[in-house]
Amino acid sequence: MTKTPSTLLARYRQVRSAMEAAARPLSAEDMAVQSMPDVSPTKWHLAHTSWFYETFVLSDPAFSGYKPFDPAFNFLFNSYYEAVGERHPRPKRGLLTRPSAEEVLRYRAHVDAAMADRLPRLKEADLGRLRPIIELGLNHEQQHLELIHTDIKHAFSQNPLRPAYRELTPPKQYPVPPLQWLEFDAGVRRIGHAGDGFAFDNEGPSHRVFLEPFAVASRLVTCGEYLAFMADRGYERPELWLSDGWAARKLHGWEAPLYWGRQGDRWSVFTLGGMRMLIESEPVCHLSFYEADAYARWASARLPTEAEWETACTDAPAVGNLLEEDRLHPAPLANDGTRIAQVFGDVWEWTQSPYGPYPGYAPAAGAIGEYNGKFMCNQMVLRGGSCVTPRTHIRATYRNFFPPEARWQFSGLRLARSL
């Protein structure tokens, strides 16, 4: 956890500037669009992350004299904090043509100026009380930095022109290394966050689990491997699918991962750089949990549990194809001899674990306690981060979670087996 006011303010500025840099390629019209209820406009992300500091930090008595930029913003840009008050409905965020994108940026500057002025002058006791909330706000903003990329990709995919967010570097292609199975003995393992450093409350407490013998794949599943599943009528065989998954496949007409399309006898894919031909050596992404699970069954395997994933990956360094690599798309694996590859970055990896509390978990008191705990129902856990996850935001204990039908996230899979 960041210790001093100066280092905390420096990190604050870095995170805030990264958020605005992500919005820079976008026009005011781009920033206002909402393509489905689960997607938020870029303008809303920029405002909501400022609302967080205004609501939970600058409202503290230690910041006495702070004047909110606009009291109406408390209603417009609250996300789901019932304890804070009423809020604008999530599916209607795209109807907020006002405030303008320009005014939202002024709002951000207003909040930033107050933080820069007051934070270095906080008394030690006040800083000790507020530091965990500011750290939470920074990590919360990094989540929205990731969502700016996932959400604008979905919005642009609905435009018949298939516009590019920006030009991407052409990917390097490598031969796909053979998939190896890494075996782990049965035994008691410890998972969950412990010790110093930031973690969300849902990553703890650290606790023991007993695992039967298992194996995990040395790398992610590729687009080429997924094409083989499709060629073997994977989307037409109900025996491969969970019942809810088969119903979702029929309801939505799924025949391929999200953003894939046919061009003659070849497949193309929509990326943040626009449309291009599919590269078979890239990790497959934009799969629902149901699709990932069906592929695993077809491959005579299964998805790992989150305890298995963390056990297998806990010692891997937090490096990979993350946001700072600036690819903004999953990349083919360069066979660098790593025992377990692509742990961090590229795609979030579905697990077979429902998102629920760890033993001994208790949410924080007050509105902050609504951050994670209230969503522990009807969601599945993903691990490892993606190509649009900031490097300083990911770790082996990180628990992401989405409904099993979700596909707009950069989500893929790694196989597992029981031994």
Residues 271 and 324 in one domain: yes
Which of 142, 157, 172 is the C-terminal boundary of a domain? 157
Q: How far apart are the first and last CA of the chain?
A: 39
Domain membership of residue 297 (yes or no) is yes
Residues 136 and 185 in one domain: no
Predicted structure pTM score = 0.96
Residues 185 and 148 in one domain: no
Which structural domain, as residue segments, surrounds residue 18? 5-157
pLDDT in tens, 154-173: 999 999 999 999 999 888 88
Residues 213 and 310 in one domain: yes
Domain membership of residue 163 (yes or no) is no
Least confident segment among 95-99, 121-125, 181-185: 121-125
pLDDT value at 311 more than 80: yes
Amino acid 32: pLDDT: 97
pLDDT value at 234 more than 70: yes
Amino acid 336: pLDDT: 66
Amino acid 337: pLDDT: 66
pLDDT in tens, 17-32: 999 999 999 999 999 9
Q: Is 366 exposed, middle or buried (0-12, 13-18, 19+ CB in 10 A)?
A: exposed
pLDDT value at 314 more than 90: yes
Domain membership of residue 169 (yes or no) is no
Region 242-255: mean pLDDT is: 98
Domain with 350 in it: what CATH number?
A: 3.90.1580.10
What is the distance between the alpha carbons of residues 265 and 338, in angstroms, rounded to a whole number? 35
Amino acid 373: pLDDT: 83
Amino acid 365: pLDDT: 81
Residues 201 and 344 in one domain: yes
What is the distance between the alpha carbons of residues 21 and 321, in angstroms, rounded to a whole number? 19
Which of 141, 157, 173 is the C-terminal boundary of a domain? 157
Residues 148 and 201 in one domain: no
Mean pLDDT over each residue of the chain, to the nearest integer: 95
Amino acid 49: pLDDT: 98
pLDDT in tens, 388-400: 999 999 999 999 9
Domain membership of residue 201 (yes or no) is yes
Region 293-303: mean pLDDT is: 98
Domains of the chain: total: 2
pLDDT in tens, 62-86: 998 899 999 999 999 999 898 888 9
What is the distance between the alpha carbons of residues 75 and 88, in angstroms, rounded to a whole number? 6
Residues 241 and 327 in one domain: yes
Domain membership of residue 174 (yes or no) is no
Which of 91, 124, 157 is the C-terminal boundary of a domain? 157
Which residues, 6+ apart, have CB-to-CB distance to 270 below 8 Å? 153, 156, 157, 162, 259, 261
Region 49-58: mean pLDDT is: 96
E strand or H helix at 353? strand 348-354
Q: Could you tell me if 220 and 236 are in contact, meaning their C-beta atoms sit under 8 angstroms apart?
A: no
Query: pLDDT higher for 111 or 265?
Result: 111
pLDDT value at 178 more than 70: yes
Region 279-292: mean pLDDT is: 98
Domain membership of residue 137 (yes or no) is yes
Domain membership of residue 235 (yes or no) is yes
Residues 124 and 189 in one domain: no
Q: Is 368 exposed, middle or buried (0-12, 13-18, 19+ CB in 10 A)?
A: middle
Two tokens, residue 122: 């906080």
| DSSP for residue 300 | T
pLDDT value at 370 more than 80: no
pLDDT value at 1 more than 60: no
Residues 232 and 367 in one domain: yes
What is the distance between the alpha carbons of residues 406 and 258, in angstroms, rounded to a whole number? 10
- Detail the DSSP E strand segments found in 212-323: 214-217, 260-263, 266-271, 274-277, 320-321
Residues 360 and 249 in one domain: yes
Residues 365 and 270 in one domain: yes
Query: pLDDT higher for 82 or 330?
Result: 330
DSSP string, 17-76: HHHHHHHTTS-HHHHH---STT---HHHHHHHHHHHHHHHTTTSGGGTT---S-TTHHHH
**pLDDT over 90 percentage in the chain:** 88
CA quadruple 141, 145, 147, 152: dihedral positive or negative?
Answer: positive
pLDDT value at 335 more than 90: no
Domain membership of residue 412 (yes or no) is yes
Nearest to 259 by CA among 135, 118, 138, 150: 150
Residues 21 and 110 in one domain: yes
pLDDT value at 181 more than 60: yes
Two tokens, residue 350: 């579905």
